[in-house]
Amino acid sequence: MAKGPKKLDWLRGYASIYMVFLYAPVILLPIFAFNNSTVIAFPLKGFTTEWFSSLMDNSALHDALGNSMIVAVSTAMISTLLGAFAARAGVRYRFPAKRGIMGLILLPLVLPEIIIAVSLLVLLMRLGMSLSLWTVIAGHVLVCVPFSIAVLNSAFAGLDQSLEEASFDLGETSWGTFKRVTFPLILPGVISSLLITFTISLDEFIIAFFLTGTDVTLPVYIWSQLRFPAKLPGVMALGTLLLLLSITLLIVAEFFRRRSAQRRGLDASTTEGLI
């Protein structure tokens, strides 16, 4: 469109400035992680990797990391499994109260996390259960299932039903059909869902803050460190490593999501499925 180059420049300029705004905090993270000063402020002093090596012998951090791994891996597996049931049912079948049931399952998307956290806390208090990593997992699964459904919906929607029917006609059982036909076809979607839910759980703070017992997760540990100025450079280094991990996982997830889109011969550049 030759709609006057001036307007095009204005919009593009705005979008560029907006991207700077979006990335401003993210770019500062590695800068301060390598800065040779205990104060998180400009001007920068010098280059150091001291903060990264200080992470190596911090046992509280290692415990928190271990806890977060347990929580994130369990959350990813449980929510992907529950998400798969719901996505399959939603895509394939019509059943009574479908909108209501799906609405309840997807509700955490629009519910403030503090409400989810507080209501689960109240339930646990009433039941007299003590807080542990399992209570954190229970809360994380609630918020992760809707994301898993979003990713898996497109995987199941692209599944050609006639392939499954062919498998039945050739004498396969339901389980055999699932194992040899359905599952391989939706595998990229499953991997993508596992990675996305893992990443959400790893970073989730509010629910973990309310539902964690004596074993803290990584974000809760970071929160406790933010009060001590001396610990901040170490937190910056830790944040940098987490940033690298998240970006890597997301690129892998995006790769699998596109592969699953390509299997259905769709344009891989559409946003369908991702958020």
First vs last C-alpha separation in the chain: 30
Nearer to other proteins, 170 or 244 (CB): 244
Q: Which of 80, 242, 256, 260 binds other proteins (CB under 8 A)?
A: 242
**Cα 98 vs. chain centroid, distance in angstroms?**
26
* Size of residue set near other proteins by CB under 8 A: 82
Alpha-carbon distance 117 to 123, whole Å?
10
Nearer to other proteins, 92 or 180 (CB): 92
Q: How far is CA 246 from CA 6, 112, 201, in A?
A: 38, 23, 11
Quick check: 235 and 74 in contact, CB under 8 A?
A: no
Q: Which of 46, 47, 57, 94 binds other proteins (CB under 8 A)?
A: 94
Alpha-carbon distance 42 to 44, whole Å?
5
Q: Which of 45, 49, 60, 92 binds other proteins (CB under 8 A)?
A: 92
Alpha-carbon distance 35 to 43, whole Å?
10
We find the least distance from the C-beta atom of residue 184 to other proteins, in angstroms, to be 20
Alpha-carbon distance 240 to 268, whole Å?
30
Alpha-carbon distance 189 to 205, whole Å?
26
Candidates 57-65, 66-74, 120-128, 175-183 — which segment interacts with other proteins by CB under 8 A? 120-128
> Does position 26 bind other proteins by CB under 8 A?
yes
We find the least distance from the C-beta atom of residue 40 to other proteins, in angstroms, to be 5
> Does position 255 bind other proteins by CB under 8 A?
no
Instruction: Report the site for other proteins in 125-184 (rule: CB under 8 A).
Output: 125-126, 138-139, 141-142, 145
Quick check: 210 and 125 in contact, CB under 8 A?
A: no
The two tokens of residue 148 are 């898993």
The two tokens of residue 175 are 């389980």
Q: Which of 36, 38, 42, 262 binds other proteins (CB under 8 A)?
A: 42
Q: Which of 119, 131, 157, 264 binds other proteins (CB under 8 A)?
A: 119
Binding mask 60-89 for other proteins (x = CB under 8 A): ----------------------xx-xx-xx
Contact partners, residue 43, CB within 8 Å, separation at least 6: none
Nearer to other proteins, 3 or 265 (CB): 3
Instruction: Report the site for other proteins in 179-218 (rule: CB under 8 A).
Output: 199, 203, 205-206, 210
We find the least distance from the C-beta atom of residue 98 to other proteins, in angstroms, to be 7
